């Protein structure tokens, strides 16, 4: 019997696999927006600020994390890692508070809230406690 939690995890996963694949294959289109986040991170870590490399790495982590989450392998760890990738992605890509065009502001606000909803779902997975069932022999 499929548990609701298993179904919910599998519903969260495709967004990360597809988004991660896009970021990995097409990082250049995201670089300008991502630089606002990658530059301070690179500085804090003392590493070169290679925005495209950061985007590709984030995409790879999202693909693997999404696949693990969707298949139920290490779901709590996968959700925690995905949550960690979602924060900079959201802060870089959906800065609605900076948009001057009202339509753009509204669209970015919706995308920001969608990402926060996904973050909430991931945090529920992180804090989920699985019950161990004894199997009859």
Residue 135 placed within a domain: no
pLDDT at 109 over 50: yes
Over the stretch 41-95, which tens digit does the pLDDT of each residue have?
A: 899 989 999 999 999 999 999 999 999 999 999 999 999 999 999 999 999 999 9
Cα separation, 4 vs 120, whole angstroms: 16
Share of the chain above pLDDT 70, in %: 93
pLDDT at 4 over 70: yes
Residue 53 placed within a domain: yes
User: How many structural domains are present in the chain?
Assistant: 1
What pLDDT score was predicted for residue 1? Answer: 57
pLDDT at 136 over 70: no
User: Residue holding tokens 């924060």?
Assistant: 87
What pLDDT score was predicted for residue 131? Answer: 61
Residues of the domain holding 19 = 4-127
Residue 93 placed within a domain: yes
Predicted model pTM: 0.87
Residue 134 placed within a domain: no
Apex 88 CA angle, 19 and 112, nearest 5: 70
Residue 106 placed within a domain: yes
Q: Which residues contact 37 (CB under 8 A, 6 or more apart)?
A: 88, 91, 92
Average pLDDT of the chain?
92
């Amino acid at each position: 019997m499929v548990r609701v939690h298993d179904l919910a995890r599998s519903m969260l996963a495709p967004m990360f696999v597809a988004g991660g694949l896009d970021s990995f294959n097409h990082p250049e289109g995201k670089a300008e927006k991502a630089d606002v986040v990658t530059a301070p991170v690179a500085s804090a870590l003392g590493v070169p600020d290679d925005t495209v490399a950061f985007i590709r790495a984030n995409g790879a982590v999202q693909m693997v994390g999404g696949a693990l989450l969707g298949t139920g392998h290490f779901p709590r760890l996968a959700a925690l890692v995905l949550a960690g990738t979602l924060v900079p992605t959201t802060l870089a890509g959906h800065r609605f508070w900076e948009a001057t065009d009202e339509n753009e502001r509204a669209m970015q606000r919706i995308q920001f809230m969608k990402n926060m909803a996904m973050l909430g779902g991931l945090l529920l997975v992180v804090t989920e406690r699985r019950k161990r069932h004894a199997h009859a022999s």
